Chains A and B, each alone.
Chain A
Amino acid sequence: MLFNSSDYVLFLPLVLLVYVLLRRAGLRAQNAWMLAASYVFYGWWDWRFLGLLFGTTLNDYLVGIGLERTEQPRHRRALILLSIGVNLGVLGFFKYYNFFVSSFIEAFAGIGVQLQAPTLKVILPVGISFYTFQALTYTIAVYRREMRAVRDPIGFFAYVAFFPQLVAGPIERARHLLPQFFVPRVMEPEAFASGLRQMLWGFFCKLVVADNCATVVNAIFNHNGALPGSVMLLGSVLFAFQIYADFSGYSHIALGTARLFGFELMQNFATPYFSQSHPEFWRRWHISLSSWFRDYVYIPLGGNRASKARQAFNLLVTFTLSGLWHGANWTFIVWGVLNGLYVIPRVFIGEPLARPATSRNPFVRVPTIALRILVTFALTVLAWIFFRSPTISGAWRVVGEIASPSLFSSPISILRSMGLLTTVAYAGLAISFLLAMEWWQRDKKYALELGERAALLTWPACALVFVITLFFRYTGASLDFIYFQF
């Protein structure tokens, strides 16, 4: 089920109503209801994959209990390897089987050896990358003795399948979310109102910014024939905002929905396009995934406790795996490697322009900060081109056009001939509004977190966002959230 579907408009109030009514019946009843609702939510897309979700959850539940029962290091290691193996095995099969088989065949074909290997028509189950990673945080935490194993299967199954963040995150840590299933949830009116506001902001991001940008981006990137550099640059910049608004929008709706039920999820985005460097960008972008890779890949590899060369290697491995996590395509791997390469120089040379960026003189500080933000954004857009393009050669074509003199040609006549001019105007206005709101609220978790501001400001701000969402939302065939495919 999609958050932006009419089904969800019916589903959410119904689930919430029963959930509230079950308060007197106790925590287990509420958890059981949450579990049932989550399975309905997931099965709405394709009920056949419920078995997979159930199976991997059961495996992790039993591994957790096994880890607690045995003190033998060898047994414990075997159990954690079983959990990692099952989760990553399932993920690897559904997501990467065809990619690795075809890459293997192509590699051998390159040296003149023709191989035959079966490729399967494997459907990628929605959210598999998210819930397997989230489940792993539990077994690893129990293995490291950071938390006790959970005995109550209902609470544990509800944690893995928790519908607000099941299919596209945030990837929660067991230590943060799981305990919330075993203490009475307090539903405060302020938190409830905050949840509604965050959902509203999420819908604005998705329906107005992301979907309007998507119309233009899809038309430009799917266009048969060459387009001038100016149009390709516009498409690439709009894609940067499309993916940000799409994914952060999803996260806002997820966080807002969870808060209605008395749950608090981790913040997933913190105005990443205002970052002044790439390390900062990765502390603000898809925080739940980047911190997952930091905790479970980068630090176990040695993190920054090793030599600088080793640190650089660790970073490159972490970012490459992060790219691969996004999809079974070389474009994602290149995207990951590029981001790794952006971060690595900091290991050796530190932060460029760090001093003027903190100068007391605003004439020095402000332009420096603006320059750092601009450079970070430009490099991010360059990496997004690889992320968006279906092939690496396609991405190079886009980069080539942008680097050509056609960058300086006017895109207006071409956009008009493609019927995109009005949508570009809407997208531009929506992005401006998004950035203005985020800048104004940059120290908050989301742009409509207005609890500390005057009530006289809260209402008009929410009403304005609501009206803009109503009148300037994208109309047409429903567009999936981009991160569903990962």
Chain B
Amino acid sequence: MSAPDITTLQLTRSFSWLRLVSQCVVALLLFAAGNVFTYETSGFFQRERLYTEQVSALAAHGNVRTVFAGDSHFAVPLNDYLNESPQGPAYSIASGGDSLRECFAKVRQVLNTTPGIDTLILTADPHMFSRGRVESSNRSFADRYFITAWDRSGVQHNLWSAMLQQVPLFSEDFLQYFRKELSVMLTHSAQHARAAGDPLGWSRLTDAQRMQEAVRTGQGDHDGLGEVEQPFRWYVRILDLARARHVRVIGVRFPVHPGYAAQAPVDKVAELDSWLLKAGVSQIIDLRDALTDPRDFEDPDHVNEIGAPLVVAMLEQKLQRPLRLRQPNIIVNR
């Protein structure tokens, strides 16, 4: 005679509300634990923490009068260089991948919390007005600023949906990051950034190689330049914010490789400049061809840590105001 199936007999019956509720509570606790674990261990949320800390850290910089907002073209050379000193007169809230929507969210946050700011240096890069910058990889990072401002204009569906997206395991951006990481792990095809940590990696390429990469990157970045409406709307909203607080807005373009800059048609850039000035930008500083030495670049469109002091010095001259505690004298030395 075989023994009765105790598991089946005893564990499947006598289902009560108490049992159901307790099971749901356990499931919720497990889900919460999963969220905490994901938030603490995932690289995506580490990036998110850095992103928001960069904005909130401005409060500790009491002397800041000038703020930079833009994408990686600003962030790569400026974030370390300007933000290290708590006494510095300028601060960068730029972040790689930001679109003008994210710029708006962060600018509103810092203008509301830091009354001493009188100048906003805002990206005027043509690629910020192209099709590729309608959706940002930092979308959900900036959502929290829209939620706290109770502003549904910047969120994808509605505020409730944006709030749900803040739950780590519900976040679609996290999910995309997770899948990408999984795919890299499974295929063992991690793309190694060229000479990561080596500021001279770009300069070691031949002229032809640099030109080829610059053209390719420029083409991708400037696809659909001026054809989408959203970036223009966000720019106007940033200008409105600044105007309401009597903050001057200066549009700036940082140095890039000529092959990259050439992918933004001259007539379209002129059209953009005219629009920017009409919309309320007080000055446009175009430094795209200001640096030509490959040693000053990380890649075709990012100035590296060697070029950063040069660019900041140029800006200080143009703006007639200090952006660092000690005036660098690098341009004179070169």
Contact = CB atoms under 8 A, between A and B. Distances in A.
B159 to A, nearest CB: 10
A453 B17 CA distance: 19
Q: Would you call the interface of chain B mostly helix, strand, loop, or mixed?
A: helix
A5 B8 CA distance: 37
B113 interface: no
Contact of B20 (A5, A192, A458, A472): A192
B16 A189 contact: yes
B7 A190 contact: no
9 contacts: A7-B158, A189-B16, A189-B19, A193-B20, A452-B12, A454-B8, A454-B11, A472-B179, A475-B172
Contacts of B175: 470-471, 473, 475
Interface string A1-16: 0000111011000000
Given A190-B15, A473-B175, A475-B176, A422 B20 contact: no
B204 interface: no
B12 A189 contact: no
B11 A455 contact: yes
B275 interface: no
B20 A470 contact: no
Contacts of B164: 6, 9
Given A5-B161, A189-B16, A463-B30, 7 more contacts: A6-B157, A6-B158, A189-B20, A455-B12, A470-B175, A475-B172, A475-B176
How big is the B interface, by class? 20 to 34
Contact of B178 (A192, A454, A458, A471): A471
Interface string B11-44: 1100111011001000000100000000000000
B169 interface: yes
Interface string A453-474: 1111010000100000011110
Contacts of A470: 169-170, 175
Interface in A364-391: none
A153 interface: no
Contacts of A10: 160
Contacts of A456: 7, 11
Interface in B130-172: 157-158, 160-161, 164, 169-170, 172
Interface residues of A, number: 25
A89 to B, nearest CB: 36
Contacts of A7: 158, 160-161
A451 interface: yes
B182 to A, nearest CB: 9
Given A189-B16, A190-B15, A422 B8 contact: no
B46 interface: no
Interface in B78-118: none
Given A6-B164, A475-B172, A454 B12 contact: yes
A453 B158 contact: no
Given A6-B164, A473-B175, A189 B15 contact: yes
B18 to A, nearest CB: 8
Given A192-B20, A422-B179, A6 B160 contact: yes
Contacts of A6: 157-158, 160-161, 164
A475 B175 CA distance: 8
Contacts of B7: 454-456
B183 interface: yes
Nearest to B170: A470
Contacts of B16: 189
A199 B172 CA distance: 21
Nearest to B12: A455
Give me the 3 closest cross-chain CB pairs, A-B, nearest first. Answer: A455-B11, A6-B161, A475-B172
Given A6-B158, A10-B160, A453 B176 contact: no
A190 B170 CA distance: 28
B131 to A, nearest CB: 16
B65 to A, nearest CB: 41
Contacts of B176: 475
A5 B11 CA distance: 35
B7 to A, nearest CB: 5
Interface in A428-486: 451-456, 458, 463, 470-473, 475-476, 478
A476 to B, nearest CB: 8
Interface in A394-441: 422
B12 A453 contact: yes
Interface string B32-66: 00000000000000000000000000000000000
A5 B16 CA distance: 31
Contacts of A471: 175, 178-179
Interface string A165-193: 00000000000000000000000011011
B183 A422 contact: yes
A486 to B, nearest CB: 25
B168 to A, nearest CB: 10
A243 to B, nearest CB: 24
Contacts of A455: 7, 11-12
Given A422-B183, A471-B175, A475-B175, A189 B17 contact: yes
A428 to B, nearest CB: 14
Nearest to B176: A475
B4 to A, nearest CB: 13
B15 A193 contact: yes
Interface string A338-369: 00000000000000000000000000000000
B160 to A, nearest CB: 5
Interface in A205-236: none
Contacts of A463: 30
A214 to B, nearest CB: 16
Nearest to A455: B11
Contacts of A451: 12
A376 B12 CA distance: 37
A452 B11 CA distance: 10
Contacts of B8: 453-454
Contacts of B17: 189
Contacts of B20: 189, 192-193
A455 B17 CA distance: 16
B170 to A, nearest CB: 8
Most buried by B among A192, A453, A475: A475
A15 to B, nearest CB: 16
B238 to A, nearest CB: 26
Contacts of B172: 475-476
A463 to B, nearest CB: 8
Contacts of B15: 189-190, 193
Contacts of A472: 179
B194 to A, nearest CB: 23
A43 to B, nearest CB: 16
B114 to A, nearest CB: 33
A483 B169 CA distance: 29
Contacts of B161: 5-7
A470 B179 CA distance: 12
Nearest to B8: A454
A454 B5 CA distance: 9
A23 to B, nearest CB: 14
Contacts of A9: 164
Nearest to B164: A6
A391 to B, nearest CB: 30
A5 B160 CA distance: 10
